[in-house]
Structure 1
């Protein structure tokens, strides 16, 4: 065989492997976020920031499933991400949001590992942070506010982290009215 017949096969195999590794990273990351939410934060009335936090509040106020709100409230941002950032990012994000939403639905009836608010906030935050990091590293996102922040930083002197923090101040402030100010402070 000459080099021309070997190269395309190797390239396809490498591309499939890269896609499989990205998908695995998104699955593991999204499931970690679901665990952090349903095993630590949500049962203790502690919220996360961004669209996830808004989804938790909507679920609490309506009694509807968290996974449904996570999916529905992220959809408009997915469309924006598709148009402004690209197809690969949007598909990766959609996949991650679906896995996270389904994961929260399956884990909803699993009891919290602790009733201690500080332990819940710390361990829930660590697990969610690792999960979000894996998804971002794999080329996706799990929260629509990150998409908006990415787009806003293109025309702003602020970083993505600063923009997300700005959004979260309003979201966590709103949580104070729903869950109480002590829970909003734990959410920080």
Structure 2
């Protein structure tokens, strides 16, 4: 339930970013949403319904490649955003386009980041980026920003080059905020010393979808036999891992360090 609420909240935040900051100044967002904003401005059709229609093919692709649960969350996000864009009035909060691009981009990044943290997607280029991060270990926000050059160029030709530059600023800010919230590309090495190592191993393997190395150890002072477990996780999984450790062995010694590079077999999804 908390994930569903987070996805709804993130989608509503994006709706506020679009209608209060970006659309009034003809500033486009990233990806297909930017295309939807542009078409919504220059055609009689609403941005929300255009965004939904543009996402349909990618949603179908996502079902095949990313799983029904992920796409279920994405559909919820797209529908919530569509409704939000109709309910929230299009009204400029600021008369300054550059300020609107910064704050609109930051709010958009906040909304998308929350949706990603809930294991969902706001659709569009996000789905393509999620597919790419399954194969390559790059920051998600940077990948999304890299795919948005065409949106910036389109903004320049359709509106003005001032609008294009403001769009570029907004997209850059969005990418930075996403990377600050969705830290899936940051890896952590977790070392656990516990007298309940077998139970911990079973718990982690069942719920974490990560490899775990199990070694024999002995307390130097107590002489007690212990198990030493080591696994590499993404930063957003740390809360879940700490909860699992606490459930099995609250007295376990846990050391968490940031990992610069991972080689070999490592699931990046």
Aligned-pair CA distance for 1:146:
1.4
Q: Is the Cα contact below 8 Å between 1:40 and 1:124 reproduced in 2?
A: yes
CA distance change for structure 1 residues 132 and 154 in 2, over 3 Å: closer, same or farther? Answer: closer
* Superposition CA RMSD, Å: 1.6
Matches of 2:60 and 2:75 in 1, distance apart?
A: 10
Q: Which has the higher strand share?
A: 2
Aligned-pair CA distance for 1:69:
0.8
Matches of 1:113 and 1:160 in 2, distance apart?
A: 29
**Map of 1:142 onto structure 2:** 122
CA distance change for structure 1 residues 57 and 159 in 2, over 3 Å: closer, same or farther? Answer: same
Secondary structure of the corresponding residue to residue 124 of structure 1: helix
Question: Which residue, 11, 22, 26 being the options, matches 1:41?
Answer: 22
How many pairs were matched up?
168
Q: Is the Cα contact below 8 Å between 1:33 and 1:100 reproduced in 2?
A: yes
Is the aligned partner of 1:89 residue 2:70?
Answer: yes
Aligned-pair CA distance for 1:89:
0.3
Matches of 1:132 and 1:58 in 2, distance apart?
A: 21
Question: Which residue, 43, 60, 74 being the options, matches 1:62?
Answer: 43
Return 5+ residue gaps in structure 1 as ranges: 1-19
Q: Which has the higher helix share?
A: 1
Is the aligned partner of 1:130 residue 2:103?
Answer: no
Question: Which residue, 155, 158, 162 being the options, matches 1:175?
Answer: 155
Aligned-pair CA distance for 1:110:
4.1
Is the aligned partner of 1:71 residue 2:48?
Answer: no
Is the aligned partner of 1:116 residue 2:81?
Answer: no
Q: Deviations over 1:81-125 (max 9, x none)?
A: 111010110000000010011101111x34211111111111111
**Map of 1:99 onto structure 2:** 80
Normalised to the residue count of structure 1, the TM-score between the two structures is 0.83
Normalised to the residue count of structure 2, the TM-score between the two structures is 0.59
Larger Rg: 2
Q: How do residues 11-50 of structure 1 correspond to structure 2 at under 5 angstroms?
A: 20-50=1-31
Return 5+ residue gaps in structure 2 as ranges: 169-269
Aligned-pair CA distance for 1:159:
5.2
Secondary structure of the corresponding residue to residue 114 of structure 1: coil
**Map of 2:219 onto structure 1:** none
Q: Is the Cα contact below 8 Å between 2:24 and 2:90 reproduced in 1?
A: no
After the TM superposition, which of the residue ranges 127-136 and 144-153 deviates more from structure 2? 144-153
Secondary structure of the corresponding residue to residue 147 of structure 2: helix
